[in-house]
């Protein structure tokens, strides 16, 4: 019975000693040393794609980009980089990183949403701006063809001049917009709209289309400017910086802890080897004594 | 990292993949790539899954039931039909060239084709199944299991099914005569179609329908220059568009701009399938999106151009 207890005691002690070693070993495996490079690279990619989006949005605004594929491509790349970042499970390193990552995710979502709005508004704006000269020509053409009750050419000089002036002002507005210019066009179109009852049949119809597009341009111009301003204020860079700094700090702490556990594991391993040597030595001496 | 690779593949496919002359670069519409770099084994497996009715609860429907590859990737119905004859809420968009869309579904609720592939399978109104059921059926088939293990280390898994179907869908690329024209073959389209393209640009259709997929890279409000939904009446949940995804009032009646590739094959049109012909669809677009009238001859020329976007053949893998 004593021998059985002794064997069990020895086995328990051996298991405990090995469990401590296993614990230390697992602790040294918690930190993925390669994750530092991966996360840094992903954050760098995000920063670059974010800059590319800003660049492509401006190129679309100025007409240098003939389509929205470059912007859409950058949006997809951001989504992919976010998924890769999420797969790193930063919260395992330090739970507080989850907050920083959430901040970045929200900033990117806000940015992508604004980019979608920009594309939609820019397309409407371009559509109306492209059509406006045709619409103005149409009003003038219908005006030339219009006759009064006595069959003489209809005289509406204010309409003809107003349409031309609005066309020029609106096209200038596209190149460089300011609130004063917007207000000027708005005032001009309001004046013409007030006189709408004087425009006969076809002239009135063509004027309605012209006015509709001018009003659309004014509204879209304001919305586009607003979206661009909001986009500039989305703190993507700051959130990337913030996550990068938080990650670096957490990684440094985890790295120190990792080094400590590694040191402890080596020390403990050495202790176990000495203990093993002692046990085997003692067992060997006992065997010799028993044999003698 | 796999997701990044996928996105890069999609992104690369959005890029210009051919001779880039100055004339081509200045065009708002860009040609489809001449070759897609895809894993042929995944494409083959994805094709068989796409046609596999075991993905539906009662083994009655496959992806191809709604996305009929012989009918331009659609079912030709106003709304899709689910299991047990359930009538869906929305018109089926074409699966052809869907790899070039920046988001999937009319309301853009899926960011990738992989996400999209899971949608109908798990939707009670469509294929009505779920992953455990689908996996159970597929895992009983030794040949399918073997094919999966030959490609994926973890065999039959939901993400692998999604990956294979999405890869197959990315292979559904349909270069047209218009692509040959964009690449410099001036005789690829007729003078009337060239005139139609010029009008398509000058009338502003190209403001939304641009890029390599002639659409599919942005959202837009349906009814920019007029209230389409008030005029049509009978508002449905599907009419809410992107609003049903984001809950943002600005997204009400906002939809992903559909691709116009193969548009001549994909009637009826719009998310509600209310336009039975291209002529009707073009009329609606002029009224509610462009806000201007156009002579019938110009509309006919634009329709002629749209027909030149019909794919001549799928790219051989």
User: What 3-state DSSP class applies to A153?
Assistant: strand
Instruction: Find, in chain A, the residue whose alpha carbon is nearest to that of B251.
Output: A117
Cβ separation of B29 and A67 shorter than 8 Å?
yes
Instruction: Indicate which of A124, A125, A174 best probes the interface with B, i.e. most B CBs within 10 Å of its own CB.
Output: A124
Spatial contact of B95 and B248, defined as CB atoms under 8 Å apart: no
Cβ separation of A130 and B207 shorter than 8 Å?
yes
Residue A79 at interface with chain B, using a CB cutoff of 8 Å: yes
Residue B92 at interface with chain A, using a CB cutoff of 8 Å: no
Q: What is the DSSP letter of A67?
A: S
Compute the count of residue pairs across chains A and B with CB atoms less than 8 Å apart.
106
Q: Which whole number is the average pLDDT over A133-148? A: 90
Distances (CA, A) of B315 to A197, B42, B96, B170, B173: 59, 16, 11, 11, 6
**pLDDT over 60 at A231, yes or no:** yes
Express each pLDDT in B167-218 by its tens digit.
999 999 999 999 999 999 999 999 999 999 999 998 999 999 999 999 999 9
Cβ separation of B204 and A69 shorter than 8 Å?
no
Residue B224 at interface with chain A, using a CB cutoff of 8 Å: yes
The DSSP-derived string for A88-133 is T-GGGT-THHHHHHHHHHHHHHHHHHHHHHHHHHHHHHHHHHHHHH
**pLDDT over 80 at A189, yes or no:** yes
Spatial contact of B217 and A56, defined as CB atoms under 8 Å apart: no
User: What 3-state DSSP class applies to A55?
Assistant: helix
User: What 3-state DSSP class applies to A34?
Assistant: coil
Instruction: Find, in chain B, the residue whose alpha carbon is nearest to that of A112.
Output: B218
Spatial contact of B272 and B91, defined as CB atoms under 8 Å apart: yes
Residue A209 at interface with chain B, using a CB cutoff of 8 Å: yes
Encode B253-267 in three state secondary structure.
CEEECCCCCCHHHCC
Q: Which residues of chain A neighbour B291 with C-beta distances below 8 Å?
A: 128, 209, 212-213, 216
Residue B23 pLDDT grade (very low, low, confident, very high; cuts 50, 70, 90): low
Instruction: Find, in chain B, the residue whose alpha carbon is nearest to that of A125.
Output: B207
Distances (CA, A) of A156 to A132, A139, A149, A161, B76: 20, 11, 14, 9, 52
Residue B198 at interface with chain A, using a CB cutoff of 8 Å: no
pLDDT of residue A88: 81
Listed in sequence order, the residues at least 6 apart from A251 whose beta carbon sits closer than 8 Å to its beta carbon are A31, A35, A36, A93
Q: Which whole number is the average pLDDT over A163-189? A: 88
Residue entry with tokens 């709604």: B66
Share of chain B above pLDDT 70, in %: 91
Please report the residues numbered 270 through 289 in chain B whose beta carbons come closer than 8 angstroms to any beta carbon of chain A.
Answer: 289
Q: Which residue from A9, A4, A3, A10 is spatially nearest to A279, judged by alpha carbons?
A: A10
**pLDDT over 60 at B269, yes or no:** yes
Residue A291 pLDDT grade (very low, low, confident, very high; cuts 50, 70, 90): confident
Residue B207 at interface with chain A, using a CB cutoff of 8 Å: yes
Average pLDDT, chain A: 89
Q: Which whole number is the average pLDDT over A226-250? A: 92
Residue B314 pLDDT grade (very low, low, confident, very high; cuts 50, 70, 90): low
Indicate the residue of A66, A127, A213 with minimum beta-carbon distance to B28.
A66
Q: Which residues of B are catalytic?
A: 126
Residue B25 pLDDT grade (very low, low, confident, very high; cuts 50, 70, 90): low
**pLDDT over 90 at A248, yes or no:** no
Instruction: Find, in chain B, the residue whose alpha carbon is nearest to that of A46.
Output: B4
Count other C-beta atoms under 10 Å from residue A192's C-beta: 22
In angstroms, how far is CA A82 from the centroid of its own chain? Answer: 9
Q: Which whole number is the average pLDDT over B279-287? A: 97
Cβ separation of A119 and B219 shorter than 8 Å?
yes
Question: What token pair was written down for A261?
Answer: 């556990």
pLDDT of residue B317: 39
Query: Which of A24-28, B22-26, B131-135 is predicted with the least confidence, judged by mean pLDDT?
Result: B22-26
User: What 3-state DSSP class applies to A230?
Assistant: helix
Residue B24 pLDDT grade (very low, low, confident, very high; cuts 50, 70, 90): low
Spatial contact of B86 and B125, defined as CB atoms under 8 Å apart: yes
Residue B225 at interface with chain A, using a CB cutoff of 8 Å: yes
pLDDT of residue A94: 77
Please give the angle made by the CA atoms of B86, B88 and B89, to the nearest 5 degrees.
Answer: 145
Cβ separation of A80 and B7 shorter than 8 Å?
yes
Instruction: Indicate which of A123, A133, A202 best probes the interface with B, i.e. most B CBs within 10 Å of its own CB.
Output: A123
CA distance A121 to chain B (A): 8
Q: Which residues of chain A neighbour B182 with C-beta distances below 8 Å?
A: none
Hey, what's the torsion of the CAs at B22, B25, B26, B31, to 10 degrees? 130
| pTM, two decimal places | 0.85
Classify residue B8 as exposed, middle or buried by CB count within 10 Å of its CB (0-12, 13-18, 19+): middle
Residue B268 at interface with chain A, using a CB cutoff of 8 Å: no
Q: Which residue has the higher pLDDT, B75 or B2?
A: B75
Express each pLDDT in B81-109 by its tens digit.
999 999 999 999 999 999 999 999 999 99
CA distance B212 to chain A (A): 7
- Taken in order A116, B265, B278, B205, the sign of the CA dihedral is positive
CA distance A84 to chain B (A): 6
Indicate the residue of B11, B208, B218 with minimum beta-carbon distance to A77.
B11
Express each pLDDT in A192-225 by its tens digit.
999 888 888 889 999 999 999 999 999 999 899 8
pLDDT of residue A1: 62
Cβ separation of B292 and A209 shorter than 8 Å?
yes
Indicate the residue of A68, A79, A131 with minimum beta-carbon distance to B111.
A79
Share of chain A above pLDDT 70, in %: 99
Residue A216 at interface with chain B, using a CB cutoff of 8 Å: yes
Cβ separation of B1 and A67 shorter than 8 Å?
no
Please report the residues numbered 239 through 278 in chain A whose beta carbons come closer than 8 angstroms to any beta carbon of chain B.
Answer: none
Please report the residues numbered 8 through 47 in chain B whose beta carbons come closer than 8 angstroms to any beta carbon of chain A.
Answer: 8, 10-11, 14-15, 25-30
pLDDT of residue A98: 85
pLDDT of residue B293: 86
Average pLDDT, chain B: 91
Cβ separation of A123 and B207 shorter than 8 Å?
yes
Please give the angle made by the CA atoms of B172, B151 and A79, to the nearest 5 degrees.
Answer: 60
**pLDDT over 60 at A151, yes or no:** yes
Cβ separation of A79 and B7 shorter than 8 Å?
yes
Cβ separation of A126 and B218 shorter than 8 Å?
no
**pLDDT over 50 at B18, yes or no:** no
Cβ separation of B1 and A84 shorter than 8 Å?
yes
Residue B20 pLDDT grade (very low, low, confident, very high; cuts 50, 70, 90): very low
Q: Which residue has the higher pLDDT, B18 or B258?
A: B258
**pLDDT over 90 at A77, yes or no:** yes
Residue A230 pLDDT grade (very low, low, confident, very high; cuts 50, 70, 90): very high
Query: Which of A243-252, B108-117, B302-311 is predicted with the least confidence, judged by mean pLDDT?
Result: A243-252
Residue entry with tokens 């507080």: A96
């Amino acid at each position: 019975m004593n021998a059985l207890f002794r064997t069990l005691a020895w086995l328990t002690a051996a298991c405990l000693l090995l469990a401590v070693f296993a614990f230390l070993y697992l602790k040294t495996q918690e930190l993925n040393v390669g994750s530092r490079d991966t996360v840094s690279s992903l954050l760098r990619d995000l920063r670059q794609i974010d800059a590319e989006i800003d660049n492509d949005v401006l190129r679309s605004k100025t007409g240098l980009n003939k389509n929205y594929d470059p912007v859409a491509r950058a949006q997809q790349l951001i989504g992919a980089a976010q998924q890769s970042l999420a797969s790193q499970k930063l919260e395992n390193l330090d739970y507080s990183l989850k907050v920083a990552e959430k901040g970045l995710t929200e900033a990117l979502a806000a940015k992508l949403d604004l980019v979608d709005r920009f594309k939609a508004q820019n397309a409407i704006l371009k559509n109306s701006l492209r059509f406006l000269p045709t619409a103005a020509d149409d009003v003038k053409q219908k005006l030339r063809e219009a006759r009064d009750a006595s069959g003489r050419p209809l005289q509406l000089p204010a309409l003809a001049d107003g349409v031309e002036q609005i066309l020029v002002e609106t096209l200038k507005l596209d190149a460089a917009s300011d609130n004063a210019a917007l207000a000027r066009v708005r005032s001009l179109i309001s004046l013409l709209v007030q006189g709408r009852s004087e425009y006969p049949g076809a002239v009135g119809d063509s004027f309605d289309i012209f006015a509709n597009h001018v009003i659309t341009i004014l509204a879209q111009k304001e919305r586009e400017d607003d979206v661009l301003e909001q986009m500039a204020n989305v703190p993507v860079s700051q959130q990337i910086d913030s996550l990068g700094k938080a990650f670096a700090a957490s990684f440094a702490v985890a790295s120190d802890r990792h080094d400590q556990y590694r040191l402890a594991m080596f020390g403990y391993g050495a202790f176990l080897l000495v203990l093993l040597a002692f046990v085997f030595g003692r067992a060997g001496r006992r065997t010799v004594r028993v044999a003698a | 990292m796999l997701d990044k690779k996928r996105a890069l593949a999609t992104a690369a496919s959005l890029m210009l993949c051919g001779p880039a002359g100055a004339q081509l670069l200045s065009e708002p519409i860009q040609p489809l790539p001449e070759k897609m770099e895809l894993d042929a084994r995944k494409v083959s497996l994805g094709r068989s899954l796409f046609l596999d009715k075991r993905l539906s609860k009662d083994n009655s429907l496959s992806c191809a039931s709604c996305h009929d590859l012989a009918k331009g990737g659609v079912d030709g119905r106003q709304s899709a039909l689910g299991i047990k004859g359930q009538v869906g809420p929305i018109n089926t968009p074409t699966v052809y060239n869907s790899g070039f869309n920046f988001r999937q579904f009319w309301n853009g609720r899926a960011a990738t084709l992989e996400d999209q592939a899971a949608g109908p399978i798990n939707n009670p109104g469509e294929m009505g199944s779920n992953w455990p059921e689908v996996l159970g059926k597929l895992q009983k088939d030794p040949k399918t299991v073997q094919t999966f293990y030959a490609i994926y280390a973890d065999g039959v898994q939901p993400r692998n099914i999604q990956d294979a179907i999405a890869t197959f869908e990315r292979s559904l690329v349909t270069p047209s005569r218009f692509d040959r024209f964009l690449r410099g073959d001036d005789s690829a389209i007729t003078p009337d179609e060239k005139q139609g393209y010029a009008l398509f640009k000058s009338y502003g259709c190209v403001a939304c329908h641009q890029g390599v997929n002639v659409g599919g890279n942005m959202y837009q409000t349906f009814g920019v220059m007029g209230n389409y939904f008030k005029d049509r009446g009978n508002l449905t949940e599907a009419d809410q568009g992107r609003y049903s995804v984001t809950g943002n009032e600005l997204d009400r009646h906002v939809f992903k701009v559909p691709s116009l590739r193969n548009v001549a094959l994909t009637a009826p049109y719009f998310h509600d399938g209310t336009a039975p012909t291209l002529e009707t669809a073009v009329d609606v677009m002029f009224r509610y999106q462009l806000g201007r009238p156009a002579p019938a001859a110009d509309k006919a020329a634009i329709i002629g151009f749209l027909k030149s976007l019909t794919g001549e053949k799928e790219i051989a893998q």
